[in-house]
Amino acid sequence: MASVGLLYVGAVLILNGLMLLGFVDARAAAPLNFFVGGLQVITPTYLIFTADGDANTILAASGLYLFGFTYLYVGFNLLAGLDGTGLGWFSAFVAGCALVYAGLNFGRLDDAAFGVIWLYWAVLWALFFVVLGLKREEWTRFTGLVAVVAGVFSGAVPAFMLLTEVWDDYLTESAIVLAIVFLASLALAPRLRGPQAPAAEPAPELREGAAPPSHRADVPTARPGTTTTGERR
């Protein structure tokens, strides 16, 4: 069940990354954030209620709420023109939790591939904190790229591998490939840092709470993702 949600987490991360890069209008991205955010709240609630007290199931489901609340928060910010500071500081909390989940996957859950994925999510949500919580807008384009990479390689690809039941056959190989891809994307930071082009300038509704201009196709807000700790989605 959670693997289905992971697939759509990949979709929303790609969309939000493209928004940060200036290719998607902010208000146009809001509906998918609501759809996926709602899914990532309903799914863990169902898993917990049907876990019959199993600690590992509850632990795995708990991570989903972090991302479900993030996406819902993003949707409200985009439609209501709220300042992004609150979302930024919540993203710092998510980043810290992601580090714990990464450690649990490397150790208790014996899933190095998802351990690598959780580390990348920790980096992504830390970037959301930098852009929104600390107002360091020069990191916006780089954060958008990391979100797109996360959508493909931490969302869509693992989801299809889980749905086709081949994930467990390639845990070691997946961990190595994912680590290489993620490190390569992070190496682009120096090239993508700096002021955005005019078409991708951060939308004022995410900085000062101004009313969102409907004609713009630029917006940097944190949106991110995703899934349960080490759970076979």
Q: Which CATH number is 143's domain given?
A: 1.25.40.600
233 within domain boundaries: no
**Total domains, the chain:** 1
| Mean pLDDT across the chain | 84
Q: How many CA atoms lie within 13 A of 211 on its CB side?
A: 3
CA distance 47 to 122: 24
**Predicted pLDDT at 194:** 56
Torsion, Cα of 180, 90, 220, 41 (10° steps): 80
**Predicted pLDDT at 203:** 42
213 within domain boundaries: no
Checking if the pLDDT of 224 tops 60, the result is no
Question: Per residue in 7-31, pLDDT tens?
Answer: 999 999 999 999 999 999 999 999 9
What's the whole-model pTM score? 0.81
17 within domain boundaries: yes
Extract the tokens encoding 67.
């991302």
Range of the domain at 62: 2-206
Extract the tokens encoding 96.
């810290």
Checking if the pLDDT of 217 tops 60, the result is no
Q: How far is CA 121 from the centre of its chain?
A: 6
**Predicted pLDDT at 163:** 93
Question: Per residue in 154-211, pLDDT tens?
Answer: 999 999 999 999 998 888 899 999 999 999 999 987 777 754 444 434 444 333 344 4
**Predicted pLDDT at 2:** 74
Question: Per residue in 89-146, pLDDT tens?
Answer: 999 999 999 999 999 999 888 889 999 999 999 999 999 999 999 999 999 999 999 9
Q: Which residues contact 30 (CB under 8 A, 6 or more apart)?
A: 74, 75, 78, 79
Extract the tokens encoding 104.
């649990």
| φ/ψ (deg, to 5) at 201 | -60, 140
Cα–Cα distances in angstroms (integers) from residue 99 to residues 18, 43, 161, in the given order: 25, 22, 23
91 within domain boundaries: yes
**Predicted pLDDT at 205:** 39
211 within domain boundaries: no
123 within domain boundaries: yes
Checking if the pLDDT of 69 tops 60, the result is yes
**Predicted pLDDT at 51:** 86
Rg for the chain (alpha carbons), in Å?
Answer: 17
85 within domain boundaries: yes
**Predicted pLDDT at 1:** 64
The residue among 10, 18, 12, 17 whose CA lies nearest residue 34 is 12
216 within domain boundaries: no
